[in-house]
């Protein structure tokens, strides 16, 4: 996870900057982000039954290897002066389409790893979140430095190498008996005969019967759209217009990531003692609006970095809480399909984030767009906490594990992860 996600984080700096400096267009930068994230969301949504059936190990290493090949092709074709903009969009779409199932497969491995290690689910989710945050710290620092010193193509070379190395780790180091088909770990009557669409429908029916998960997904979908706009367009444009250059993109990302690692580690150690709802909502209030608003002010870089550090610390608590809630409520055999649907719905706005931000900045300018996004972020994270479904987040682990859900069948009790 650390290697592959670090490659993704490097790409998040190198690719937008590559497009911005070669085309000079914020709109085209947003279009590239759309072409990466739209396939990511769609393919990830459809890949859940496949991960459950084939096994997360096989899906992870094959998709990472495909992503590495596509990233390397961008570099080689540009060096040969053969990379047209439509071809770039196609290769970026391949990277996004393969990253979706690859990320899902790694997430599905977490509960089995926790079970084998004898670790609490909250702690496992927290360590997984800390790994993700660590990658988001190292990746932007490496990406920003490489882009500033050697150009964006060097960053894409590192991205391709990271994907390839991550593929080798999973393929060669992970025991073949681990992370296999979900049916092997949690057998159930008739599971081997279930077709793809029956599996997909069962996952959808299960998710529809979980009001808490649906409310969380709806809120995260909006915040993810705004985060995508910030990462792919608004922050790069701010870095260019302020004269700070690509290095500040990596610096702000690394400061935020380092603080997020601290938050995730605290969550991993103490999450089972904290009230999840309060931690989750406060974390979102810190992680969201302040980042947008600080970039509208003419303040020293130190003040900007301080705000990013506070935002990162708050964001470090989010994924451990979300991960623990999901892993408690979803039976192991359905984790791939339910996780894929939940993630895809939560990420549904991401492809539009960069596209909308690019068009908005081109027509209205950077500062008005930053102010509008910050206001929406604050509003959605404040109002969502008033929904009654949020009370279920503080229920003791496993208290909801025996509830029956549509499309789940009689084996729910035996399969409950919590």
Whether 140 maps to a domain, the answer reads yes
What is the per-residue pLDDT across 121-153, written as a single tens digit (0 to 9) for each? 767 777 787 787 778 777 777 777 777 788 888
Determine, yes or no, domain membership for 170. yes
Residue environment code for 301-327, b if the CB has 16+ CB neighbours within 10 A, otherwise e: eeebbbbbbbbbbbbbbbbbbbbbbbb
Question: What is the number of other CB atoms lying within 10 angstroms of the CB of residue 127?
Answer: 23
Residue 361 placed within a domain: yes
Question: Interior CA angle at 329 toward 199 and 210, to 5°?
Answer: 75
DSSP for 190-235?
Answer: TGGG--HHHHHHHHHHHHHT-HHHHHHHHHHHHHHHHHHHIIIIIH
Confidence band, pLDDT 50/70/90 cuts, at residue 118: confident
Residue 410 has a pLDDT of 28
- Does 409 fall in a domain? no
pLDDT in tens, 250-285: 788 888 888 888 887 787 676 567 677 778 888 888
In a domain, 72, yes or no: yes
How many structural domains does the chain have?
A: 1
pTM for this prediction: 0.63
Domain extent at residue 64: 2-176+194-396
In a domain? residue 413: no
Assign residue 315 the CATH number of its domain.
1.20.1250.20
The answer to whether position 280 is within a domain reads yes
- Angle CA(209)–CA(211)–CA(215) in degrees, nearest 5? 140
* pLDDT single digits (tens) 184-217: 444 444 444 567 778 778 877 888 888 888 888 8
Is residue 383 scored above 70 in pLDDT? Answer: yes
């Amino acid at each position: 996870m650390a290697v592959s996600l670090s490659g993704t984080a490097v790409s998040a700096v190198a690719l937008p900057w590559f497009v911005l400096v070669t085309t000079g267009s914020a709109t085209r930068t947003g279009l590239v982000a759309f072409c990466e994230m739209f396939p990511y969301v769609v393919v990830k949504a459809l890949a859940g039954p496949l991960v459950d059936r084939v096994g997360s190990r096989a899906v992870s290493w094959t998709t990472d290897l495909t992503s590495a090949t596509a990233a390397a092709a961008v570099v080689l074709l540009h060096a040969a002066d053969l990379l047209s903009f439509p071809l770039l969009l196609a290769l970026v779409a391949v990277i996004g389409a393969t990253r979706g199932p690859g990320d899902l497969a790694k997430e599905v491995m977490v509960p089995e790893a926790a079970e084998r290690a004898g670790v609490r689910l909250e702690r496992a989710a927290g360590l997984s979140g800390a790994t993700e945050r660590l990658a988001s710290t190292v990746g932007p620092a490496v990406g920003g430095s490489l882009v500033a010193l050697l150009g964006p193509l060097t960053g894409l070379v590192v991205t391709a190498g990271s994907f390839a190395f991550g593929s080798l780790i999973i393929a060669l180091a992970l025991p073949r008996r681990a992370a296999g088909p979900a049916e092997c770990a949690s057998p159930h009557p008739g599971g081997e005969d279930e077709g793809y669409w029956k599996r997909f429908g069962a996952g959808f029916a299960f998710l529809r019967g979980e009001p808490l998960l649906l409310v969380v997904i709806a809120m995260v979908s909006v915040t993810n759209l705004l985060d995508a706009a910030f990462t792919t367009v608004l922050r790069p444009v701010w870095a260019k217009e302020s004269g700070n250059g690509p290095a500040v993109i990596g610096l702000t990302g690394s400061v935020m990531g380092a603080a997020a690692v601290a938050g995730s580690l605290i969550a991993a150690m103490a999450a089972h003692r904290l009230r999840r709802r309060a931690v989750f909502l406060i974390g979102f209030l810190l992680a969201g609006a302040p980042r947008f608003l600080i970039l509208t002010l003419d303040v020293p870089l130190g003040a900007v970095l301080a705000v990013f550090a506070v935002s990162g610390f708050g964001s470090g608590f989010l994924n451990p809480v979300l991960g623990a809630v999901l892993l408690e409520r979803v039976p192991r055999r359905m984790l791939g399909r339910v996780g894929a649907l939940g993630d895809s719905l939560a990420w549904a706005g991401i492809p539009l984030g960069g596209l909308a931000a690019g068009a908005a900045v081109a027509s209205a300018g950077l500062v008005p767009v930053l102010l509008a996004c910050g206001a929406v972020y604050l509003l959605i994270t404040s109002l969502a906490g008033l929904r009654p479904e949020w009370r279920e987040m503080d229920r003791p682990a496993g208290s909801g594990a025996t509830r029956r859900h549509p499309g789940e069948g009689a084996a729910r009790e035996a399969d409950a992860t919590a």
